[in-house]
């Protein structure tokens, strides 16, 4: 009888795992279509949740700006697999967002937790490009008393360059700009474009920077090249409009681009429709 019970329990456990895997697949498809509430509805009905399920729950909450709930879910994912650089990275992102939206009394503590997670994610996997990038951003933006600093950022940029030369040049350009070495920053962005001539993201980086430096004509030429490469890319639509609104130029075109963006099929990698609507209202009021 004992053997029968063990077999039955094993079958039920395996069935639960198979069902959970199917649920995770369905939830991920909804997540990829930015139906975060739909993804959560499936995942929260699961009895057995593993690390990937908790990660997707956390990502869904994160995209819905429920950062406290997101952090709790990512903590569960990390508990399920402490060696996962990806889980730790997402936990750091959640703490970082909590720092941004919290009051000054707790923001510093949350920011430090974000840094610790980013550093741990890099320590767990030194080839995790997103972890390196997020840690670089933290070091670049955070004050020294919270563990930031240009020297640390430069070390990260060098590590990034060893894995991806173009991404390394982009990081170094940001650092050069912060140090007010503007010509050096532009040269680094141009080098990134040269290394990846078919990647619109690098062209958009250069175009936005040239506009920021007051060189509108050169900026528009770079935007035009990006639009030629990927005319219907949500990234091209949004970032072009964002630059125009930021710099107070081509506002009618910016409004048209944002309306096209709002009608596009978006992914979790794209800025939210809510963010685009805020930008559109800003363009309307300019």
Give a yes or no: residue 246 inside a domain.
yes
Q: Quick one: which of 207, 218, 197 has its CA closest to 241?
A: 207
Q: Is 212 helix (H, G, I), strand (E, B) or coil?
A: helix
Give a yes or no: residue 38 inside a domain.
no
Give a yes or no: residue 227 inside a domain.
yes
pTM attached to this predicted model = 0.90
List the chain pLDDT tens, one digit each, 286 residues. Answer: 545 454 444 444 444 444 567 899 999 999 999 999 999 999 999 888 999 999 999 999 999 999 999 999 999 999 999 999 999 999 999 999 999 999 999 999 999 999 999 999 999 999 999 999 999 999 999 999 999 999 999 999 999 999 999 999 999 999 999 999 999 999 999 999 999 999 999 999 999 999 999 999 999 999 999 999 999 999 999 999 999 999 999 999 999 999 999 999 999 999 999 999 999 999 998 6
Q: Is 162 helix (H, G, I), strand (E, B) or coil?
A: helix
Give a yes or no: residue 281 inside a domain.
yes
Euclidean distance between CA atoms 204 and 173, whole angstroms: 14
Termini Cα distance of the chain: 77
Give a yes or no: residue 230 inside a domain.
yes
C-alpha torsion angle, residues 148, 150, 153, 159 (rounded to 10): -150
Structural domain total, the chain = 1
Residue 158 CA to its chain's centroid (Å):
21
Token pair belonging to 259 = 């309306």
Q: Quick one: which of 78, 76, 88, 92 has its CA closest to 44?
A: 76
CATH number at residue 229: 1.25.40.10
Give a yes or no: residue 2 inside a domain.
no
Token pair belonging to 51 = 């690390």
Euclidean distance between CA atoms 95 and 269, whole angstroms: 19
Question: CA-CA distances (angstroms) from residue 168 to 21, 80, 89, 121, 157?
Answer: 37, 33, 20, 19, 5
Domain of residue 225: give its range: 199-286
- Helices 2-32 and 51-63 meet at what angle, rounded to 10? 30
Give a yes or no: residue 147 inside a domain.
no
Handedness of CA 173, 111, 32, 75 (dihedral sign): positive
Give a yes or no: residue 263 inside a domain.
yes
């Amino acid at each position: 009888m004992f053997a029968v019970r063990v077999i039955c329990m094993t079958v039920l456990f395996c069935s639960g795992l198979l069902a959970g895997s199917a649920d995770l697949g369905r939830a991920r498809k909804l997540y990829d279509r930015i139906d975060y509430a739909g993804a959560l509805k499936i995942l929260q009905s699961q009895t057995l949740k593993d690390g990937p399920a908790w990660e997707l729950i956390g990502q869904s909450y994160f995209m819905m700006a429920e950062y406290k709930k997101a952090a709790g879910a990512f903590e569960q994912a990390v508990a399920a697999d402490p060696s996962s650089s990806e889980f730790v990275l997402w936990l750091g992102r959640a703490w970082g967002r909590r720092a941004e939206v919290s009051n000054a009394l707790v923001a510093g503590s949350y920011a430090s937790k974000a840094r610790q997670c980013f550093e741990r994610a890099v320590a767990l996997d030194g080839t995790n490009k997103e972890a390196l990038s997020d840690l670089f951003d933290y070091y670049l933006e955070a004050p020294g008393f919270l563990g930031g600093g240009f020297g640390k950022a430069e070390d990260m940029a060098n590590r990034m360059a060893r894995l991806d030369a173009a991404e390394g040049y982009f990081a170094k350009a940001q650092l050069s700009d912060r140090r007010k070495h503007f010509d050096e920053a532009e040269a680094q962005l141009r080098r990134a474009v040269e290394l990846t001539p078919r990647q619109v993201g690098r062209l958009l980086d250069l175009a936005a920077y040239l506009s920021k430096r007051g060189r509108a004509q050169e900026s528009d030429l770079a935007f035009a090249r990006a639009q030629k490469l990927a005319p219907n890319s949500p990234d091209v639509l949004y970032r072009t409009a964002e630059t125009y609104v930021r710099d107070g130029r081509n506002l009618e075109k910016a409004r048209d681009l944002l309306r096209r963006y709002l009608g596009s099929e978006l992914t979790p990698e794209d800025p939210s429709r809510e963010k685009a609507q805020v930008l559109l209202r800003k363009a309307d009021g300019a």
